[in-house]
Structure 1
Amino acid sequence: MRALTPAEVLFDGEPQPAVLPPCDHYAGSEKLIRKSLALQAQLGPVFDITLDCEDGAQVGHEAGHAELVASFVGGEDDRFGRVGVRIHDFNHRAWRDDVRIILRQAKKAPAFIMLPKIRSVFDAAEMVAFIEASRCEFGIRKPIPCHLLVETHGALAEAFELAALPGVESLSFGLMDFVSAHNGAIPDTAMRSPGQFDHPLVRRAKLEIAAACHAHGKVPSHNVSTEVRDMSVVANDAARARNEFGYTRMWSIHPDQIRPIVEAFAPRADEIALAAEILLGAQRAQWGPTRHGDTLHDRASYRYYWSVLRRAHATGQTMPEACSPLFAAPDSESKA
């Protein structure tokens, strides 16, 4: 009898929580888009690229910029299918045109569509529904995941409802706009480290978003680090986002930020080895309780260690060859 895998036995028939590359890198101009795609070709699909229609387009030239973005999605330089797009917000006249231009002209569908400045679950639901209808109209076979940018009071108040929306894959925190929305009540020091992790209102926002995502199996994506010279600051921001706030993904706005973000979110070699040992032992025991050293394990801890291996896979880490049977099922991460 074939050995059952973690994906088959640990989730009681429910979908596994989403795992995405840990870094979401933004690029708006043609020059930066090409540079980002070249770096992705070099490093592999350990980070996503989001082509930016919102901040990248000049006023009055939104359609032309959407056409530029569409020319890169699914093109020869999109080697891994991990290129997404950010469209204009719900109150901007161009957001529907962004969607239609990109889905009509791109060689294949984007990996995801980022929806910025969400103000309510109703706005988000309308945008998601329009994207789905456009996807069907243009004959795109698979649904396109939507990522929502939470940076307003209304969106934060409805974070759990937003995370529960069908078609939504991830929630991101927009730190700068969130702080600005408080009209000076939060000091500008909260827009950067260490203040962004210390101010109570900002801490609350980050924790609400992370909790909402984990409650619904979605990916919480942390805001950018504004530091572009000292990469130790970026690495520390990423480590704190992961270890203290429960984020599994983070934005990047400069190519030099990508490596430290990926490294901060990647499991260590000893964590990977321990997870492999425990899960292989569990598999041999047909997923009943086991003992590893002086510690007892059951399905609760197995799910934790499976998440370690899935994160290792998403960050391009080397795993023991013996792990291959754990990824053997047709619906496993290795077949995604």
Structure 2
Amino acid sequence: MRSPVCTTGRLLEAAQYVGHVTRPRRSCLSVPGSSERMLVKAKTLPADEIVIDLEDGVAPAHKDEAREATVAAVSEGGFQARSIAVRINGTDTPWFEDDVNELARRAGDALGTLIVPKVEAAAALAPVERLLERSEPAGGRESPVGLQALIETAAGLVHVNEIAAASSRLEALIVGYADLAASLGRPPGARHDPDRWAFTLDAVLVAARAAGLQAIDGPHLQIDDIDGLSAAAARARELGYDGKWALHPTQIEPLNEAFSPTEEELSRAEAIVEALERAEGGAGAGVALLDGEMLDEASRKLALAVLARAPDPR
């Protein structure tokens, strides 16, 4: 895998981001940027990714304050999570530009990605990219800021394939159930019937995989329903999803467990990568045979994705 590299003070090449880092996202805990107490607590939690919310989780009167608190928390570091993401305000809001500019310039390399809400078309990511291209050099970052796209409207679902291919910074597509249910005219609580969301989950997954992205399931809203959470996570994992959002710390461990590969799966993935490396180093072939199974570059990508979900990096 290629690692994105840039030189401080010059324009970052977002194209370097293609085929880049696969950040584990078995559990993605959302915390409001307006709560200093929750930001401090989030640093101690074992979620793969902490998602600091500047959008729905913050009242309009507190947007600027939440942004400042988020920049301070991320730049200070000290998170146990493997990656930090920030859900910014939408591109049609008065807070959008300040969100992107301040985070890119001041949050430092601890900021992994920006999550763009309510993405309805491929063109919706362009304003974010333009701001990042202008702001990143001033931040002295060693790697470009990645993006994640929330699919949470009917229009976004219709255009999900184009959205997935819209930016070389894009790392993941996320299903946003609450807003999507409202957009589709579904009553609250419709998430409990998995069949109602079968088309949505498949459409987002296929679009993500076709573009080489991760697919992340939305949150289970009933915080006290751990059995329901585990069942929903198991369904998402069986479909092929890489992880799921969490709304409470008690949801983290069940998600980490649900989306972690077994020891057998990890051993098999390591064997696949090693077999292909031996083949390339020997005859220079791009294919290999392992236990009677023909392996190629697609096999390697799947194996690396499995290894990236390991509880401990391999």
Q: Same fold (TM over 0.5)?
A: yes
Aligned to 1:222: 217
Aligned to 1:86: 87
Aligned to 2:265: 271
Aligned to 2:5: none
By relative contact order (CA 8 Å, sep 6+), the higher-ranking structure is 1
CA 105–188 in structure 1, closer or farther in 2 if over 3 Å, else same? same
Are the counterparts in 1 of residues 88 and 99 from structure 2 also a CA contact under 8 Å?
A: yes
Match status 1:259 vs 2:265: no
* Aligned-partner Cα distance in 2 for 1:269–1:98: 41
Select 1:303's aligned residue among 297, 300, 303: 300
TM-score of the aligned structures, taking structure 1 as reference length: 0.77
Are the counterparts in 1 of residues 31 and 39 from structure 2 also a CA contact under 8 Å?
A: yes
Are the counterparts in 1 of residues 272 and 300 from structure 2 also a CA contact under 8 Å?
A: no
Of stretches 310-319 and 95-104 in structure 1, the one that deviates more from structure 2 is 310-319
CA 85–189 in structure 1, closer or farther in 2 if over 3 Å, else same? closer
Are the counterparts in 1 of residues 83 and 110 from structure 2 also a CA contact under 8 Å?
A: no
Rg larger for: 1
**Displacement after TM superposition at 1:81 (Å):** 6.2
Moved over 6 A (4+): none
Aligned to 2:177: 175
- Please show how residues 180-199 of structure 1 align to structure 2 within 5 Å: 180-183=182-185, 186-191=186-191, 193=192, 195=193, 197-199=194-196
Match status 1:136 vs 2:137: yes
**Displacement after TM superposition at 1:80 (Å):** 6.1
- Please show how residues 1-336 of structure 1 align to structure 2 within 5 Å: 16=19, 19-21=22-24, 22-28=26-32, 29-40=35-46, 47-78=48-79, 82-108=83-109, 110-166=111-167, 167-183=169-185, 186-191=186-191, 193=192, 195=193, 197-199=194-196, 202-244=197-239, 246-285=240-279, 286=282, 288-292=287-291, 295-299=292-296, 302-303=299-300, 306-307=303-304, 310-317=305-312
* Aligned-partner Cα distance in 1 for 2:53–2:45: 17
CA 124–291 in structure 1, closer or farther in 2 if over 3 Å, else same? closer
* Aligned-partner Cα distance in 1 for 2:144–2:171: 11
**Displacement after TM superposition at 1:226 (Å):** 1.3
Aligned to 2:11: none
How many residues align structurally? 291
Structure 1 counterpart of 2:289, one-letter code = T
SS at match of 1:112: strand
What is the percent sequence identity of the aligned residues?
Answer: 24
RMSD: 2.6
SS at match of 1:25: strand
